[in-house]
Amino acid sequence: MPAHETSHKSILLEHPSGAKAEIRFPHSLKPFLRAGATVTSWTVDDSERLFVSKNAILDGSKAIRGGIPIVFPIFGTDEKIKLPQHGFARNSNWDYVGILTDNDEVAVRFSLKDNQLTHEQRSAWPHSFRLNYTVAITANTLKTTLVVKNEDEDTFEFKSLLHTYFRVPNIEQVAVNGLSKLTYTDKVQNGAKVVEQNQKVTVAGEVDRVYTNVPEEVSIEIQNKPAFKIVKTGMKDTVVWNPWIDKAKGMGDFGDDEYPNMICVEVGSVAEWVKVGGGETWTGGQVITAL
């Protein structure tokens, strides 16, 4: 069976190869659960490839700490748009649209419209829109695609990101390739602009960087061996994040000892606002290959 609803309000995709993905999804009949169509598991060769914190809150009261939360329509916080951090998409009641299959790919689609938002959310970002989000797997790939349709007459603008948490055995053995010579904003250094001088980006302390105008492909290696290839489309930027020791201790939904077992490499368009004209659509996404 390619997909089915599990007992704890999620969709499980199953590929004939044995690869699986789980997506927690709320919909209008279950308003108490607001999981934001978050991918929370992806297994290839019986090995989990995504990180979800052992302390993640799964009752819908806040966004899930791990997997692939959807950031939209703001990144971080914004003085002019009074929405919670990273916007409303990762913690909204999405609708389940259906299963899509072909010979090699198993996929599921979700949608979110402005009329599904709370009054406060619509007041903060008063635009008519539809989001379509598709999650697809093959034997060794995970594809996540977000389509934004502006259903207003006037142009609106937004920022979006796929906040992917990768599971790793030891962060000190991890390197990210494909970011050399690019400019990044270093949030740990009060927003300083820095040009990446390293061929391989490694983590030996808190890292919170927004790399801009990033090529389509970056990769993650573990112990000098390829582990993941990430190919993005329609998105300009890539965020690299690990909270390290002190920040981990300050996060109630993240274990103090978990920072060595994750790295976030997140594709998005967040350095500049994306403008979409009335009646137009924008598409952004990623294909992750487990190597």
228-258 pLDDT per residue, tens: 999 999 999 999 999 999 999 999 999 999 9
Check if 163 is active-site: yes
3-state secondary structure of 153: coil
CA distances from 22 to 12, 15, 40, 169 (A): 4, 12, 6, 21
* Selection from 160, 138, 140 nearest residue 282 by Cα: 160
Check if 266 is active-site: yes
How far is 11 from 20, CA to CA, in rounded Å?
Answer: 10
Q: Where are the domains of the chain?
A: 3-290
pLDDT, one tens digit per residue, over 26-65 is 554 444 445 689 999 999 999 999 999 999 988 777 889 9
* Selection from 162, 262, 271, 147 nearest residue 214 by Cα: 271
Residue 190 backbone class (left: φ over 0; alpha: ψ -120 to 50; beta: rest) = left
Q: What mean pLDDT do residues 127-141 have?
A: 98
User: What is 164-180 written as a DSSP string?
Assistant: -EEE-S-GGGEEEES-T
Q: pTM value?
A: 0.95
3-state percent helix, strand, coil for the chain, nearest multiple of 5: 10, 50, 45
Binding-site sequence positions for substrate: 65, 85, 90
Burial letters 82-119, b for 16+ CB under 10 A, else e: ebeebbbbbbbbbbbeeeeeeeebbbbbbbbebebbee
**Tell me, what's the pLDDT at 156?**
98
Q: Which of 22, 86, 163, 258 is catalytic?
A: 163
Q: Which of 15, 86, 258, 266 is catalytic?
A: 266
Counting residues of the chain whose pLDDT is more than 70, the rounded percentage is 94
**Tell me, what's the pLDDT at 101?**
84
Binding-site sequence positions: 65, 85, 90
Say which CATH topology domain 3-290 has.
Beta-galactosidase; Chain A, domain 5 (2.70.98)
Q: Which two tokens stand for residue 81?
A: 């748009």
pLDDT, one tens digit per residue, over 177-221 is 999 999 999 999 999 999 999 999 999 999 999 999 999 999 999
- What's the mean per-residue pLDDT of the chain? 93
